[in-house]
Structure 1
């Protein structure tokens, strides 16, 4: 029997809270919601959640301060911050205070749902937020990737594809699987969007090649090409 995946949405804008909650429920998640930090704190101390979606500026404070305090006491539930504050300093503050992801308003509800699913999978798998393979390092929480210690400048799609490949390192990953996990439902599975992103990734990762084509199956992240 599949485990219920529970998400808490903390947003004081009622229309947005209802819309976000409805979208997450339609994606198969069990959703509770509240309008302030006090309500969230009560729910989080009495129930288990796989992810929390926090608006930053709430009637009773900035959510990053609440998350920061909870993190200092060992709280490990993944957090996605939603906010209109879009400066680099604001995003870095969100990560520094314990956020796992940060989405600026206005945002695509489909993208928000995909990010929540990723955080929930991470919580359920117990895998670390920093993944390494050969000289590649992918920090899933900060959404940063480094090759031989050098920070790579990646688009959201490039990062999503690289993250999925490193999670499945040394395994062949089909194009259809990459589309399912890295694109929204409107993506055409017969298009060449995956090949285009992989081509850009290969260029940015430089030599020696890490992403190998597995003929008739898809792609594999490996330190060396060991054949099909």
Structure 2
């Protein structure tokens, strides 16, 4: 058995939902194991064999998550790139050894970062990845999405599958806010201030949500839900 791999555990059940992951590791066996396991649960996986190649891939494509070997000799150049604001970079999952963990810990805590130690345990990698991605909308072809729901911020249009939703500006802002906080409950006040920039009475919010739900949830599963007494959220109840 390879010293950086533990294969006795079966991959955990969480689904990747087509999220795009970049795995950067100079060990082909580790890279192949992670890529295969993550693809089996629904991630789309790109790989790089060095930090330089990984940085190039990040410059060329947008990823939902980066799994990066913290023991790579060119980690310093990557660390400088981590100064990018958290909202503009994907969450990072570092692979590290116990011996080198002390070098990595001071860099953690920037938000959207975590680590697992080698030898790699697939169940742990999948679990940490799911936590890092929780509440973040995946990206498909550079556009935020959830399942078959896709938003094109360049044109301010949304579609579910092949169907265009034909949203008003207020409906699009609401859907974008819900999608950006997928699987989190947003209060009516939070929604109101995001959509209109000011607080509006409950009937206006309820009417807007109702119109949006009518357009989005013609197909199953329903994506927009009410948490009575708390607010609204976007997601699949069994996700």
Q: TM-score, normalised by structure 2?
A: 0.46
> Highest relative contact order (Cα 8 Å, sep 6+), 1 or 2?
2
Q: Which is higher, the Rg of structure 1 or of structure 2?
A: 2
Q: TM-score, normalised by structure 1?
A: 0.48
